[in-house]
Amino acid sequence: LLQKVPLLFVSCVNLADAFVPSGRLIELVDITLPLMADTLPNPFSDEIKGIATASGIPLGEVVLFNIFYEVFTVCTSIVAEDDKGNLIHGRNLDFGLFMGWDVKNKSWIISEKLKPLVVNLDFKRNNQTVFKSTNFAGYVGMLTGIKPHMFTLTMNERFSLDGGYIGILEWILGKRDGMWMSFLTRSVLENANSYEEAKALLAQTKLLAPAYFILGGNRTGQGCIITRSRLLSIDILEIDLKLGRWYVLETNYDHWKEPLFLDDRRTPGMKCMNQTTQKNITLKTMYDVLSTKPVLNKLTTYTTLMQVSEGKLESYIRDCPNPCMPW
């Protein structure tokens, strides 16, 4: 982390300046958000304070860096079962929409600043791996992870009128009965010991923001998209080989609704999966699907591939060559 401190500091400042270019927001962040750190549950509160102390970055800016992912991640996640019953989980993490377009380089400023912060983490207890994750240095929640030989998990943003902004505002005002999405995913990766246990926690825990949880297990048929409101599970779509559904794919729209025509990554993603076929799905062909434009776009910071049976997690920092969709 200390090696990435200058990059983390620049990213924190850029996040604030993307909204208020005058620099006044970062002043407000430095004054008010340190107070919010004390309201966060442990161990997250202590870890955020520790990162600020160790890095020298103002506490308010580290808090800002950690809460932005509750409302601004735009992603594609896929869980697929091959013809031998192996589960493969892939995801593109897209971040930085409308946060400053670099006209000269044709890229999103925040997305480019985040790429050098991508790290693969191995969380151990008693010198044994508990789970692995692809993450950003300085971020204490989890967006992408694997509990080897048990389950894989990714989280996608679900846009809603009753969205993350409302939950964060309620938290600031003192209503704190919901859980931060990325804190929940980390808690599940750390504590759940089966696909079914993880599924129940993700479906039933009250949240600060709506979300899609994409979960893969270690047995045939164990793959699902959990569509969440802040209060409850609205829908669970599962792999069902009897219906010919050998994969589930989620972007940022309810699967029973048409995606926004300006942001349809689902249709080309499903077309690629169908052309790949169940017989030929592997980590390599999953990577190919996630490299197809516009599934790969200018917001894509990294691609992660996971195979639960081998406990494998591998990640790639991405660059979408022109011509490429902004999102």
Last residue of a domain, one of 24, 41, 67: 67
Residues 6+ apart with CB under 8 A from 20: none
Does residue 120 sit in the same domain as residue 48? no
More confident residue, 20 or 45: 45
Class of residue 57 by CB neighbours under 10 A (exposed 0-12, middle 13-18, buried 19+): buried
pLDDT at 73: 74
Last residue of a domain, one of 34, 67, 100: 67
Is a pLDDT exceeding 90 seen at residue 83?
yes
Does residue 140 sit in the same domain as residue 284? yes
Whether 226 is in a domain gets the answer yes
Task: Judge whether 272 counts as a catalytic residue.
Answer: no
Whether 61 is in a domain gets the answer yes
Last residue of a domain, one of 24, 45, 67: 67
Contact 215, 198 (CB under 8 A): yes
Does residue 259 sit in the same domain as residue 131? yes
Does residue 40 sit in the same domain as residue 90? no
What mean pLDDT is predicted for residues 271-300?
A: 98
Does residue 184 sit in the same domain as residue 56? no
CATH number reported for the structural domain that contains residue 259 in this entry: 3.60.60.10
Does residue 128 sit in the same domain as residue 60? no
Is a pLDDT exceeding 80 seen at residue 34?
yes
Does residue 116 sit in the same domain as residue 218? yes
Per annotation, catalytic residue among 75, 224, 272, 320: 75
pLDDT at 172: 82
The domain containing residue 61 runs over which residues? 1-67
pLDDT, averaged across the chain: 91
User: What's the number of domains the chain is made of?
Assistant: 2
Structure tokens at 49: 């304070």
Whether 47 is in a domain gets the answer yes
Residue 170, SS3 per DSSP: helix
Contact 207, 183 (CB under 8 A): no
Does residue 133 sit in the same domain as residue 251? yes
- Residue carrying the six token digits 């009965």: 177
Is a pLDDT exceeding 70 seen at residue 137?
yes
Contact 75, 157 (CB under 8 A): yes
What mean pLDDT is predicted for residues 101-117?
A: 86
Does residue 43 sit in the same domain as residue 85? no
Whether 260 is in a domain gets the answer yes
CA torsion, ordered 100, 103, 106, 108, to nearest 10 deg:
-10
Residues 6+ apart with CB under 8 A from 126: none
Does residue 82 sit in the same domain as residue 14? no
